[in-house]
Amino acid sequence: MKLALAPMATLTHEPLRRLIHRYGDPDEYFSEMIHAPSFLAGGMFEPWYVRTAPCPERMVWQITGGRAEPIVKTAEGLVALGGIGVDLNMGCSAPDIVRGGAGVAWMEKDPAEAAELVRAVREAVDRAASQPASAEGSAKAKAAAAAGGPSRARLGVKLRLGSDGDYDRLLGFCSALVDSGADMLTLHPRERRDKYSRPARHGYTARLARDLSVPVYANGDVASVADFLALERDVPCAGVMIGRAAVTEPWIFRDIARERDAQKAGLPASDGLPASEGLPAIDHLEVTRAFLGFLVEGQPPEFWLSRARRFFYYYCDNFSFAHHIKMRVQNAKTLEDIEGLIEGYLEEVPGDRHRLRGGRVS
């Protein structure tokens, strides 16, 4: 079962990927949503959305937009950057996204319109792949092949249940996408208006994985190694996306891999392995400084504060007094203020500075 970093606006940028890379990569890194019209317009910030470090060969470019033509052109352009392929966002339920006809709004249009979009993107992606490659493009293609990547650019679609829980409707919609050229699908099994407080209904994921001819990834409610192992056991699908938990614990992909290795070796699950047994302790102050450094190197100054606040909103859940420190961070005015707040908190609560266990589950 593949592991993927889920696409998350203002979060799945190069600095977060570089932080995760320090501990252990997932099989795939999905980008932030790339807004097709903005990408084509050549906005000043667009180049920052398509940076590929630290693993260009693992990148999946997720595209959003309310009209087919800009999405098709953007997909064709992004394929030239290398990586695994592109992913069409038909699942985001943010009101401003939906109002523009994008995200889950595609599931509420005529199903033929969504299928035609996939067909057009498939043709554009294949056409781009058939063009003579530049030296840089050839190097990326060789790197992808060496890493076991697909022989052609993959076309995926990420979606929700739509506006209701009608499985036959969902299956028909997904089948049309597959017939039009989609190579894989990711299901976040919540309806459009569902909040995160409602559990993801992965029974739908299991049924789609059974009924479709392409790989299906599960997304939603994987907050720990134990959650992943339970989903891997109970939901027979091809992959799992992890989102917010990978921000709170950037080492989660390493810990999952380690637990899998332990199980293959016949070792029983435990309540954690001491840091001396193969894994260094996590120093939360060191992580803070590393992330802020990556942020300065990998994002424009206009994004520094908003991206830092967004990251620490989740990362501070590692601390005993999480709400207290995360609210202080949200009011910080500079990156230096944020570093000082985390450092001051850890001086006041020294027991929170280190995570000593290796992530084994009980």
CATH number at residue 251: 3.20.20.70
On whether residue 271 sits in a domain, the answer given is no
Q: What are phi and psi of 58, to 5 degrees?
A: -100, 5
Q: Is residue 323 situated within a structural domain?
A: yes
Instruction: Kindly state whether residue 57 falls inside one of the protein's structural domains.
Output: yes
- Expressed as residue numbers, the domain containing 320 is 283-352
How far CA 309 is from CA of 71, 211, 288, 361, in Å, comes to: 30, 41, 12, 29
- State the Cα–Cα distance between residues 60 and 33, nearest whole angstrom: 10
**pLDDT of the residue at 135:** 47
Q: Is the dihedral of CA 105, 165, 240, 310 positive or negative?
A: positive
pLDDT tens across the length of the chain (362 residues): 999 999 999 999 999 999 999 999 999 999 999 999 999 999 999 999 999 999 999 999 999 999 999 999 999 999 999 999 999 999 999 999 999 999 999 999 999 999 999 999 999 999 987 775 444 555 555 554 454 444 689 999 999 998 888 999 999 999 999 999 999 999 999 998 887 778 999 999 999 999 999 999 999 999 999 999 999 999 999 999 999 999 999 999 999 999 988 888 887 665 444 333 556 789 999 999 999 999 999 999 999 999 999 999 999 999 999 999 999 999 999 999 999 999 999 999 999 999 865 443 32
Q: Does the residue 304 lie in any domain?
A: yes
Are residues 157 and 54 located together in one domain of the fold? yes
Instruction: Determine the pLDDT at residue 307.
Output: 98
Based on the fold, state whether residues 101 and 171 are members of the same structural domain: yes
Which residue among 237, 264, 291 closes a domain? 264
Pairing of strands 282-283, 354-355: antiparallel
Cβ–Cβ < 8 Å for 13, 62: no
The strand ranges marked E within the chain are 2-5, 28-30, 34-35, 59-64, 85-90, 154-159, 184-187, 216-219, 239-242, 282-283, 354-355
Residues 137, 256, single domain; the answer is: yes
d(Cα 30, Cα 303) in Å, to the nearest integer? 19
Do residues 348 and 221 share a domain?
no
Q: How many domains does the chain have?
A: 2
The answer on 215 and 334 residing in a single domain is no
Residues 225 and 298 in one domain: no
Question: Residue 125 falls within a domain, yes or no?
Answer: yes
Residue 272 falls within a domain, yes or no?
no
Q: Which residues on neighbouring strands pair with residue 155, listed in sequence order? A: 86
